[in-house]
Structure 1
Amino acid sequence: MVMKAVVIVTFLLHCVGQRQILGQEPLCQSLPSCSECIRSPGCAWCTQTGFLKSGESNERRCDTPESLKTRSCKEDYVINPVKHPKTYMKNNDLSSDAENVVQLKPQNVKIKLRVGVPYEFNIEFKRAQGYPIDLYYLMDLSYSMKDDLEQIKTLGQKILRKLKEITQTVRIGFGSFVDKEMLPYVSQVKAKRQNPCPNRIDTCQPAFSFQNVLPLTDNAKEFENEVSKQKISGNLDSPEAGLDAIMQAAVCKDKIKWGDVTRILVYTSDDTFHMAGDGRLAGVFQPHNGQCHLNDKGSYDGKSYDYPSVGHLSRVLQDNNIQLIFAVTEGIYPAYKALSALIPQSVVGVLKNDSSNVVDLISEAYGNLSSTLVLEQEGAPEELHVSYRSNCKGNQADTKWKEKGECKGIKHEKVEFQVRLNVTKCLMKPQTFRIKMQGISEEVKVNVDTVCDCDCDPPEESSQHCNGTGTLSCGVCSCKGGYLGQHCECEQKDMNSTLTMMPSCRPDNHSQICTGNGICECGKCVCHGQYNGEYCQCDDSSCERHDNKLCNGKGSCKCGTCLCEEDYTGTACDCSPSTDKCEGKMGLCSGQGECICNQCKCKDGFRGDHCSVFINVCTRFKDCVACYVDKFSEAVCAKRCWNAKIVHLEGTHELQCTYKDTNSYVVELGSKGEILLQYAELPRSIDKTTVIIGSSVSSIIVIGIVIIIIYRVLLELYDIREYQNFVKAQKQTEWKEVQNPLFQGATTTVLNPLHVQDDE
């Protein structure tokens, strides 16, 4: 039974917390002591003596502040720690002064929280202009990077010159890596160990895991001199010891000489990297311990520890506020892009095969890093939930609370982050956690404590309010042994005296003591929680609710029954005497319903706030139209038409509804809510198929005739033109016989004597 009660209480507290997260007012769970009460969100405690009625338990002192006020608890006696005491331990203004740079405000704050009651405060950030930069160049010296090394040897001045466009204070350093000095990564053959180049023409230096060549310096010439001394190296497998090198460059702060400034680590390579677990190939099982292992010469052989994991490396980089730039060739870009997604404050750029674009790449990558702000907490206790809302440039504020504060595209403008703290249970002691900006060494220290005890007057021993037999504290009597009651007024001599008092706590001989809602003390019922009455039979919080308000807020709950006020009626006082919500343009409920509890209850066939909308109007009045079209009697049609006023329109009209494709009708409400039905004959429809076919055939015939006419006209014109050309040609022709030898006369004349006639 006890376990069941604990489960129920836990569930209720969880529900309370959920309501609080959703932004609703928390429900108060009445508890028997002041300290327990104020640990319940939404609860306050009344210390006023004489506040409780006879038979009420101390739990009734724990209620919402509004309810305590309604029950006549004076404001001075209400303990309700709603204000969160906040103290700024350090709150320096933002500054870009080189002697006193402040980019994050406040720097240290102390806050007291109440369980389940969120508290919000603001953090400001502005990136300081000209903030110093430390850049450490970490290069892969495996044989495939041979041409890249020649480029890097002359880059010192270029890199410094580019970074001085951002800030005047810049330091640069150089480190290199190959792989662990053991099989199967590096050949152990003596000749190959001394010269691991793949051919005998080149000379390479022996392989190494990491070498700190030049600690951070502001001397570009020194950078170029040291780098110019470097020789290429080589190893057996493709992946390199890049993660090993990054780890040493991050944790060996003293040997690298990192300053308390913006720290940038540039990593260049043309191949992939070994990860945690790969060391087992060489028999190295010891996980990396995250410590610096450089020898006096600044070298690390990597033989004792496995490669670091990505998660371990990410945490180390964050702890040391190092921003990582991967400058890698295009072929391995996807692998490093995936790696960058797991490491905050890191970006990836594509490096040309000879590293000729490395200066521009570093400048662009640093711009991308510095324009993204990510605010997050470290070391917050489990009981504390921290969330953020970002107000970035252009007043583009988040509307939802998120696990991190984030802004993008920021240069040097000031941004604000709203931080919300919500503690789920009391802390054993004050605790401190940090809120940090990724890549920035500054932080906000937040010291949190919880308000879990009541600040009451000192306890009054042998108080007169407790009949001199108890101690008064926070309005409650703690009785001495053998005394009971609200005022310690009842002396419990023995068990028999207790048994003789029990019948007076039962309404009859067969019922439970105090109806199961209280305990019997001194022959009177002391009720639990919200129960009251002579036998704890009443519950003043069990009345019906309306709009999530007890008795609709228009009455009081007495023993489970709403006592309504202001002429309100109903079991939940939800029935208003007013009719204003029932009034519409067509009168009270449009004449098609009744106004009950200031709400229209519509007749069958109507709906809406004022019963002004028909339900399935065409179907409902179809029989009515049929009755008039088929000319039934008025008495028959009146029943079918819901007493509607019928109007027959002459001519053809297209209305809202149709009947048998020959009649149309419309139904609407008149100005006084009466039903008006108008019907008319539908316009004769035209067979669209016939029209389409006819028009198509006619068009074809007309077009054919036009084409024939045009053809005949053109042909006739052509014949006329040819005839005219012929006539013209004839007129222009001249036949000159003298010029044509065919038409010359005969030169010899022959006479036939037989035909010679006698002239005589």
Structure 2
Amino acid sequence: MTFDICVRLERPCEICVAPYGFRHHMTLSNNTHMFSDMVKRADVSGNLDAPEGGFDAIMQSVVCREHIGWREQARRLLVFSTDASFHYAGDGKLGGIVKPNDGRCHLSREGFYTESSYQDYPSIEQINLSVKKNSINVIFAVTESTIDIYKQLAANIEGSSVGKLEGDSSNIVSLIKEQYEQISSTVEMKHNASSAVSIKFYTRCLNSTGALVNTNKCGNIKVGDLIQFKVEVEVLKCPKNRDEHKQTIQIYPVGINESLIIDLEMLCECNCEKPGDRFYEENSPRCNHKGTYICGICECYPRAFGRKCECSTEEASRNITDATCVRPDGPPGVKCSNRGDCVCGKCQCHARKNDNERVYGPYCECDNFSCEHHDGKLCSGPDHGECDCGVCRCTEEWTGTNCACRKSNATCYAPDTSDGLLCSGHGVCECGVCKCDTTEDGRYSGKFCERCPTCSDRCIEYKDCVQCQMYRTGPLKDEHDCATNCTKFTPIPVKEVVANEENNEFKCAYYDEDECIFTYVYYFDNDNKLQVKAQENRECREKIFLPFIVIGVIAAVVLLGLAILLLWKLLTTIHDRREFARFEKEKMMAKWDTGENPIYKQATSTFKNPTYSGKG
């Protein structure tokens, strides 16, 4: 029996060589013919049990970088093809091998793995760490019978994937291509931070205008696409081991040999906690001489308590209770209005993050920030009033719950009128603003309700003054008449006249004696002063000269006739030249002399005696 096992180990089959753990045949190269030849000449072997030592092969292929020929700046793929399960750490003990795998390169000059009989198989975690360290994507091309177990394995090896291999390996090329496209079209960010540090990734992936999403993975990526990740680093706790207060964190995309290195130093203690610092003061007056002032906080001595150590256990034993911190007219049992702490029978109100905001009162019932707002301003702004205990205290000129209303009605009287009616008699004045009435014909409008639904505006009233002041035209174009009659306003020149309805601006447009149109707007400013904005230049029609049009038409007809004659002359000249050139060409192609008759033949004949030499 022992003899039979030894024979099978030396030669598992007739064409097999002795079993070996792993052999490196060929360094990575572009020579496909050499690769094909090496595959054909590779020795076939076998083993006595079903699982294979593929982990040894993966480990040596990953760590023996110089032998394999891995490039630094390249995406590295390792294809592992098999139809059987695998041995892992611990199985070596069945053969008497107890030495753990050291995860190092052990290849001989011939490419054989030399530690198969001396070191145990690598563990799954060792494979995972080596793959991560060397930025390699592993593709498991396995048959259907083992695909489930390799899917479980791939879930524990970062950057690995599994594909189904046909029994005759006919789909190996398409499988590798499919897996590569999946790997290269996905970017997944990882890190090696400890549990004391939380790292979150935010990205928009390919949606540049979308919102940031908390994810470390983006898919459907093509070559040239730019993906940006925002990294949020948060220290959750200070490790008990002081050596871990300084950490080097590596953030990297899976399968790519690039990374971001973060040197993190945790500040787990402050200098102000140590004696001798200026913020460390024993028996401090800030703590009523009953505690130590440390980093801005009082650490009270025994029998003293409170924010500033103002209370003692002796005082607490008296009739001082929390009931004195409950507002008599407030909810029962609510101390300090839930906005402070009851210390020694008195409320100490909580501080606000905003230094301009404060909570105060015997029961912390008051504040200076919870009053009504108007246009986003507290009590309509400091010029109108201020907030005191939840109520707006308005200045003399303003009133209302938010100090937005004027006390005076002066702003509701239309200027430049003699009737003196409030809101022109067509509305009521509320908070210094006219609220116009509505009639059967419609609603009055304007800042002072001066515009009725069926009445005309005041454009005609200001027309003559705008003409004379801006363009020196109209019935008041005389300088003396203009200065005498137009004293209510001075037009403001603008390039384009646009009426702002929110400011109650009214747009007017007229033609003058030169058939030019001029435009202007009028309105009343905050001081109820009439303002007029007029267009700088009038818009005049261009004059049409009829004789020029007639002459232009005649000239165009003559020029068109001449153009037609010239075109006809050009075409006939070109045609004649082509015919003459054709004639000349046919003349030159004649093969006989035109001076002789081509069919003429002489009447005499000449013969030469071939034997006559011309002698005797």
Q: TM-score, normalised by structure 2?
A: 0.46
Which structure carries more relative contact order (alpha carbon 8 Å, separation 6+)? 1
Q: TM-score, normalised by structure 1?
A: 0.38
